[in-house]
Chains A and B, each alone.
Chain A
Amino acid sequence: MGWDSERMPARTCATMGTVVSLRLGDSAADFDSAAVEVVESVFRRWDEQFSLYREDSELSRIARGDIRLTEASQSLRTCYALALDWRERTQGVFTPHRADGVIDLSGVVKALAIAEAGTALTARSPAKWSINAGGDVLVSGDAGHPEWVVAIVDPGNRSEVIANVPLGYPLRAVATSGSAERGEHIWTALNGEPSPFRQVSVFAADILTADVLATAIVAGGESTLSEMTERFAIDVLAVLRDGQLLATPGLRRTA
């Protein structure tokens, strides 16, 4: 099959302060411009509603007090409720509030956009696809599909990788959190102590779980890592400050 031999062209678009890379099908012939537009419009819509970098977004208007939360759209309140639900599930380590109290849904919005874009692609055609938004990856896949390969960046040297890991059913999503690129962008729950983790990658069946738990584990440290690997069907590859790796059994090469 052409999986390994053919080139897989990627389309990219800048959105949400990062870049989305999209792959469709096996070869250039599979490229569907309309599908690309669908994905772009999904990201654009989420960004327009939830970005705190856009003064005119609904969430910015709530942050400024122009409108009350109770007057917000149903979709915004649903999204906030979902984020609060994840706060509960992570014992408060993941939070949809900035240190100054402003509601910040950036911790779930990118993942929700990726998930919606994936659903839209699946509805359009059964072909293979993968979406990578700023390092958070979701791929098509059912039990019969060949695996996608995702490289996990070495946080100590971002032009190197730690491992090339197969990605596919049932764990179709991976998200990585760390402090390497955007500074300490995760509010730590450890009383201001630095996270023991330089970087945490979480593999999950859906991108929201992967994204939220990667953030939570970086913020919550080793106790959160233990708690989350126990409670959720995830695999985790964590890089400690000294470069040592921790991995769940599912990411261990079988002898």
Chain B
Amino acid sequence: MRARAVALATLASVSIVGIGWQLGSSAIEASQSLTASSGGTAMAAAASATQAAAQSGTFTGAVVPTQYGNMQVSVTIANGAITEVTPLQLTNRGGRSAGISNQAAPILRSEVLTAQSAKVHNVSGATYTSEGYLRSLQSALDTAGF
């Protein structure tokens, strides 16, 4: 997880360097120093660097092969400031393309996805024993014929 975050941050820096080239020579000097800095600082520095060019728009970085697979980001710049970094390609070690986050986050019970139908067919819980089954909700459902 942390490794991926670092890889993504690094990639963002790399892409920003590339985008710096697109924006013109005024950004180059600042951008070159970015490669050595960490992701967060790099973005701030790139933002100030691009301010000189005062350009706006969305710029797509090159596809960069990393140990996690190919990665690519686009950066949206408004009046010289980076407003958004969007990952376009993010591939994990398993080879499956993944969204930026399928992270589990705190959720209230009322916020959990609920079926349209109120009718329940099965119950999933920690494995019940044959004896435990008799006390289980599944047993009640099975007996009721639902």
Contact = CB atoms under 8 A, between A and B. Distances in A.
Interface of A: 3-4, 7-10, 12, 14, 17-19, 21, 23, 89, 130, 132, 134-137, 139, 147-153, 155, 158-159, 161-167, 174-182, 185, 199, 201, 223, 225-227, 229-234, 236-238, 244-254
B112 A247 contact: yes
Contacts of A182: 126-127, 129
Given A158-B136, A245-B106, A248-B102, A153 B126 contact: yes
B133 A175 contact: no
Query: Chain A interface secondary structure, helix, strand, loop or mixed?
Result: strand
Contact of A253 (B4, B111, B126, B142): B111
B120 interface: yes
Contacts of B112: 162-163, 165, 237, 245, 247, 251-253
A230 B98 contact: yes
A247 B126 contact: no
Contacts of A176: 124-127
Interface of B: 1, 4, 92-94, 96, 98, 101-130, 132-133, 135-139, 141-142, 144-146
B134 to A, nearest CB: 9
B142 A10 contact: yes
B46 to A, nearest CB: 27
B55 to A, nearest CB: 34
A253 to B, nearest CB: 5
Contacts of A164: 114-115, 118, 120
B137 A151 contact: yes
B109 A163 contact: yes
B125 A225 contact: no
Contact of B121 (A17, A23, A135, A177): A23
A161 B140 CA distance: 13
B124 A149 contact: no
Contacts, number: 209
Contacts of B137: 151, 153, 158-159, 161
Contacts of A18: 127-130, 132-133
Contact of B113 (A9, A153, A236, A252): A252
Contacts of A180: 125-126
A27 to B, nearest CB: 10
5 contacts: A4-B117, A10-B145, A182-B126, A225-B104, A232-B94
A21 B126 contact: no
A182 B1 CA distance: 31
A174 B124 contact: yes
Contacts of B118: 164
A137 B141 CA distance: 14
Most A CB within 10 A of own CB, among B92, B125, B145: B125
Most B CB within 10 A of own CB, among A18, A89, A164, A252: A164
Contact of B106 (A151, A233, A234, A246): A246
A167 B123 CA distance: 11
Contacts of B121: 8, 23, 130, 139, 148-150
A196 to B, nearest CB: 12
Contact of A181 (B96, B127, B146): B127
A175 B123 CA distance: 10
A238 B106 CA distance: 9
Nearest to A9: B145
